[in-house]
Chain A
Amino acid sequence: MKTLLEHLRVLRHTLQRLLLTPNATLLNILIIGIALSLPVGGYVLLKSVQLLGAQISGTPQISVFLATGTSDGDIERIGDKLKQHAAIQRIEFVPRALALKKLQQSSGLSDVIGGLSQNPLPDAFIIYPKDDSVAALEALRDELNAWQHFEHVQLDSAWIHKLEALLNFGRTAVAILAALLSFALIAITFNTIRLQILTRREEIEVSKLIGATDAFIRRPFLYFGLTQGLLGGIAAWLLVAASLQLLNYQVGALAQLYASNFSLQHLSAGDSLTLLGFSAYLGWLGAWFSVSQHLWQIEPR
């Protein structure tokens, strides 16, 4: 109870001190907010792109185009063999006539196709594998390539893996950015607290003389770092939220042209809490470094 009251007193004192120099406080919070909003914004964009990729690609599949002139009997035997394959979940046969009809319906090329004297499309199987990892898909594709009567084996979702690789690259870049800017945040807090300790030198000295523990002297500075970090985190959250709002307005118009309902995802509740917790922690850490560095230099004489 006694300690709780003491913590509340320090917290109130910290807020008063923040309000005492509103311009400096606002500037610090804004700098921290902008620094944090860059990696957070990158993270949000990556997450949306990843979601979009998953939406478009669906389950990965392999298309097999048969050599022209494969007999109906061969097709049947191949179909049975595929169905019994351990790595294949199910298959779908697309006869060349059906493929042509689908193409005519979907592509708006019906005039051109109608003018063709014969059907140029091959018969095809669409194969849905059990395991959709890249390695398994590629192994299956290579295996099928060697089969008789198969003209061409195509991994339809290869691009999603390229996207995945690209996303991984993006994630690494965001992580590096986050690490660098975290250091910046710690440095900003370190310096703010250093200046505070200098200006409050006398108070620290007197407090030590009349029996203040190190914890008591450290506490207001740690609270200040924590609070400033937290406010910076809130600023970053607001910046990201506002930017997404603005971007989604544009994305909405763009998506409409492609008849898609794609929009950029905002930070989830969990992500938001992580952001605030992390920024508060970094502020605390910066203050802690600063206090450990500078406080011992002030000894009463």
Chain B
Amino acid sequence: MIKFNQVYKRYPGGHEALKNLSFDIAEGEMVYLTGHSGAGKSTLLKLIAAIERPTSGSVLVKGQNIRSIKPAAIPQLRRNLGLIFQDHKLLFDRSAFDNVMLPLQICGFDPRESAKRVRAALDKVGLLEREKANPIALSGGEQQRLCIARAIVNRPTMLLADEPTGNLDSEYANEIMNIFKSFHQVGVTLLVSTHDENILRQFPARALHLNKGELQA
């Protein structure tokens, strides 16, 4: 599903965010990405979604090499991924419902069919009652769940979540992790970055540990 081979990422300005990364993630696997702040977790996830490109080495996502991917092929790649961002990236000029609707509009879904799917996704994260609310009126945990609803409405086979429980207290964090667990159980590949020890203990899975951009055994 995902294959990194001797990947380096150097940002303009010379900072080397990732150094010599090699690892595989199999289809249907759930993997944690851990490490201190600034270790390179977000950078790694951005490489998979072709938001950034590797400086050297190869990043294969479903067989496609991100290093040489054509700009025109990027939209299709991203539609097959569910992205959950550290800063949510919700749009505050529209309702929760319309935020979740956006990926379907982008794919050109039939509007009536879309509405059903949006409600199903909102139901899954427990926000069906809040569909008319503006995201700004939602709590931190609710915003994170809305972001998840938007990521799954397309029914992607892989979810990438960047510190989804970052600023949440443990009760909300467990809620989110339970949602992820349920996706893992139906065969979705998951890559979740976190530095929350409680979560690692309560929802055990394989972890990739980054330290200053390097993978630690």
B150–A211 touching, CB < 8 Å: no
What are 20 contact pairs spanning A and B, CB under 8 A? A5-B108, A5-B111, A6-B105, A9-B111, A203-B91, A203-B93, A205-B89, A206-B89, A209-B51, A209-B83, A209-B85, A209-B89, A210-B106, A210-B150, A211-B75, A211-B77, A213-B75, A213-B106, A216-B106, A301-B51
Q: How many residues of B contact A (CB 8 A)?
A: 22
Residues on B with beta carbons closer than 8 Å to the beta carbon of A202:
89, 91
B93–A211 touching, CB < 8 Å: no
Which of A5, A210, A301 contacts B78, CB < 8 Å? A210
B78–A209 touching, CB < 8 Å: yes
For window 62-95 of B, CB contacts with A under 8 Å fall at 72, 75-79, 83, 85, 89, 91, 93
- Supposing A5-B110, A301-B51 touch, asked if A211 and B79 sit within 8 A by C-beta, the answer is yes
> Is A300 located at the chain interface by the 8 A CB criterion?
yes
- Per-residue 0/1 for B38-59: is the Cβ within 8 Å of any A Cβ (1 yes, 0 no)? 0000000000010100000000
Which of B83, B91, B106, B111 contacts A212, CB < 8 Å? B106
Q: Which residue of B lies closest to A206 (CB)?
A: B89
For window 61-83 of A, CB contacts with B under 8 Å fall at none
Residues on A with beta carbons closer than 8 Å to the beta carbon of B72:
213
Residues on B with beta carbons closer than 8 Å to the beta carbon of A5:
108, 110-111
The complex places the Cα of A300 from the Cα of B86 at a distance, in Å, of: 14
> Is A106 located at the chain interface by the 8 A CB criterion?
no
What size tier do the contact residues of chain A reach?
10 to 19
Work out how many contacts link A and B, with CB atoms closer than 8 A. 49
> Is B107 located at the chain interface by the 8 A CB criterion?
yes
A210–B105 touching, CB < 8 Å: no
A9–B105 touching, CB < 8 Å: yes
Q: 13 new A-B pairs (CB below 8 Å) besides A206-B89, A211-B77? A: A6-B108, A9-B111, A206-B102, A209-B49, A209-B51, A209-B78, A209-B83, A210-B78, A211-B75, A211-B76, A211-B103, A211-B106, A300-B51
A2–B106 touching, CB < 8 Å: no
Residues on A with beta carbons closer than 8 Å to the beta carbon of B102:
206-207, 210
Residues on A with beta carbons closer than 8 Å to the beta carbon of B51:
209, 300-301
Residues on A with beta carbons closer than 8 Å to the beta carbon of B91:
202-203, 206
| Interface set of A (CB-CB < 8 Å, partner B) | 2-3, 5-6, 9, 202-203, 205-207, 209-213, 216, 300-301
- Supposing A207-B102, A209-B49, A210-B150 touch, asked if A2 and B110 sit within 8 A by C-beta, the answer is yes
Question: Smallest Cβ distance from A73 to chain B, in angstroms?
Answer: 92
The complex places the Cα of A9 from the Cα of B110 at a distance, in Å, of: 11
The complex places the Cα of A203 from the Cα of B105 at a distance, in Å, of: 13
B108–A2 touching, CB < 8 Å: yes
Residues on B with beta carbons closer than 8 Å to the beta carbon of A207:
102, 106
The complex places the Cα of A31 from the Cα of B72 at a distance, in Å, of: 38
Residues on A with beta carbons closer than 8 Å to the beta carbon of B85:
209
The complex places the Cα of A216 from the Cα of B49 at a distance, in Å, of: 19
Q: Which residue of A lies closest to B77 (CB)?
A: A211
For window 96-110 of B, CB contacts with A under 8 Å fall at 102-103, 105-108, 110
For window 5-56 of B, CB contacts with A under 8 Å fall at 49, 51
Which of B79, B110, B111 contacts A210, CB < 8 Å? B79
Q: Which residue of B lies closest to A299 (CB)?
A: B51
Residues on A with beta carbons closer than 8 Å to the beta carbon of B108:
2-3, 5-6
Residues on B with beta carbons closer than 8 Å to the beta carbon of A3:
108
The complex places the Cα of A54 from the Cα of B89 at a distance, in Å, of: 68
The complex places the Cα of A212 from the Cα of B150 at a distance, in Å, of: 14
A211–B110 touching, CB < 8 Å: no
Question: Smallest Cβ distance from B130 to chain A, in angstroms?
Answer: 19
Question: Smallest Cβ distance from A3 to chain B, in angstroms?
Answer: 7
Residues on B with beta carbons closer than 8 Å to the beta carbon of A301:
51
Residues on B with beta carbons closer than 8 Å to the beta carbon of A2:
108, 110
The complex places the Cα of A209 from the Cα of B111 at a distance, in Å, of: 21
Question: Smallest Cβ distance from B5 to chain A, in angstroms?
Answer: 25
The complex places the Cα of A14 from the Cα of B5 at a distance, in Å, of: 46
- Supposing A206-B89, A300-B51 touch, asked if A211 and B78 sit within 8 A by C-beta, the answer is yes
6 closest A-B pairs (Cβ-Cβ)? Answer: A211-B79, A211-B78, A212-B106, A211-B75, A213-B75, A210-B103
